[in-house]
Amino acid sequence: MKILQCCTGCVCLVLVICLAGCCAPEIVSLPSATPLPTTFVSPAPSDVPLPGSPTPPATLKVSTSTPYPGRFGAVRITEQSVVGAYWSEGGQSVIYATSGERDGTIGRWWQYIVSAGERHPIEPPFNLNPEIWVQLEASYVEDAFVWFGGGISPSGARVVYNRLPLGHNYTPAPDEIYFPPYEAWTARLDGSDAGSLHSYCPYLVQAIWLDQERRILLVCSYEGGGGLSIANVDGSPPSDPLGGLAISHWAALAPDETKLAFPDAFGTLRIAFLDSGEIRPVAQWGYMPNWSPDSRRLYYQHATEFADYLADIRVYDLDTGTDVLLRPWPSYEPVDTLSVPTGGIFVVSPQENAAISEDRGLWLVRWSP
């Protein structure tokens, strides 16, 4: 099962690695995940505050400067901070995780039923033991990467993570500028069969699994633009499909695994055709690309250089080369307008009629029925 996914933040976005069980993990199918004993149903969902939580802000309203064809408004799914979200059941529902603490760790998991406008709590998609990261000597672990940035393979069989080289024990001097030589590694969910993927990956931003989980597309960064490579689970040397071109923000692999969409370090959204080596520009200041199920259309957010807190939603057709505006930039009134910020959560439905987007909570934004 392929999962459309996205996590909070921007490049160097909150990503990280998953926890795993010391024994064989129990994998829970998300669409049929067993609800917790307590359910929550409301025509206009809002989160149940955790004990001691501040009063959530008033519900936002959506407004635009001018009407436009195909606008079906937006629905606020939750007011709480969201670590990540993705579509499930072919676009019938949304799975998301709210933030439990200020450090961005996951608090609770929810399933939102689009047709009913209702949500209920669910169990996490995998049972993971955080002690696995001690065993693997993982350098850091953040929830967003574990669950939404590719830290766990789609089948739940393997994990990918950062760690220092075996035997590394260098201690920098107090005034020394030092960049730890982190590597990218992979292992099975129980911690076995661990091996190096890439000898230099300062900060593992994103992992995209392909070729039936035999290869992993890695986005590694430290600050600013990141580097992209395709690593092999069997340990053979990685390759660079972009010829050293630096990327920024979030990359997206087409379902047919022949095309990769990404914003480069200068803010230009591009498509790399992995078979031919062609790299095609799509739009300046394009971010958060999402592919259609047939790999023929690319949805993305489009902003401007100095106003990336708001963005249009656009779609680019590969066959015709046309670029269509689906939802224009709303008039920005901080109290009562839904913005579509770049660099946050933006995931298009498999039905291609709506997206989930982050703005002081999580929203369902539609452009067709």
Q: Is residue 223 part of a domain?
A: yes
Q: pLDDT category, 304, cuts 50, 70, 90?
A: low
Q: Is residue 33 part of a domain?
A: yes
pLDDT at 11: 35
Q: Which two structure tokens, joined as six digits, stand for 52?
A: 């001691």
Q: Is residue 104 part of a domain?
A: yes
Residue type, 148: F
Q: C-alpha dihedral over 165, 170, 172, 178, to 10 degrees?
A: -20
In this structure, the number of other CB atoms found within 10 A of the CB of residue 29 comes to 10
Q: Give the least confident one: 223-227, 285-289, 353-357.
A: 223-227
Q: 220-243: buried (b, 16+ CB within 10 Å) or exposed (e) per residue?
A: bbeeebbbbbbbbbeeeebeebbe
pLDDT at 1: 39
Mean pLDDT of 249-263: 94
Q: How far apart are alpha carbons 226 and 229 in whole angstroms? A: 10
Mean pLDDT of 6-11: 40
Q: pLDDT category, 36, cuts 50, 70, 90?
A: very low
Q: Is residue 210 part of a domain?
A: yes
pLDDT at 329: 60
Q: Give the least confident one: 6-20, 76-90, 177-191, 282-296.
A: 6-20
In this structure, the number of other CB atoms found within 10 A of the CB of residue 337 comes to 16
Q: How far apart are alpha carbons 178 and 180 in whole angstroms? A: 6
Half-sphere exposure of 161 (CA within 13 A, CB side): 31
Q: Is residue 266 part of a domain?
A: no
Mean pLDDT of 257-275: 94
pLDDT of 335 strictly over 70: no
pTM of the complete model:
0.76
Q: Is residue 128 part of a domain?
A: yes
Q: Which domain holds residue 207?
A: 6-48+62-166+181-246+346-366
Please choose, from the candidates 154, 273, 283, 149, the residue with its C-alpha nearest in 3D space to the C-alpha of residue 219: 149
pLDDT of 48 strictly over 50: no
pLDDT at 306: 56
Q: What is the rounded average pLDDT for all residues in the chain?
A: 77
Mean pLDDT of 293-305: 89
Mean pLDDT of 178-188: 92
Q: Is residue 338 part of a domain?
A: no
Q: pLDDT category, 338, cuts 50, 70, 90?
A: low
Q: Could you identify the residue written with the tokens 């009913």?
A: 116
Mean pLDDT of 64-78: 56
* Between 323 and 65, residue with greater pLDDT: 323
Q: Is residue 256 part of a domain?
A: no
Q: pLDDT category, 58, cuts 50, 70, 90?
A: very low
Total count of domains within the chain: 1
Q: How far apart are alpha carbons 70 and 301 in whole angstroms? A: 17
Mean pLDDT of 274-285: 93
pLDDT of 13 strictly over 70: no
pLDDT at 49: 34
Let me know: does 161 contact 204? Beta carbons within 8 Å.
yes
* Between 22 and 115, residue with greater pLDDT: 115
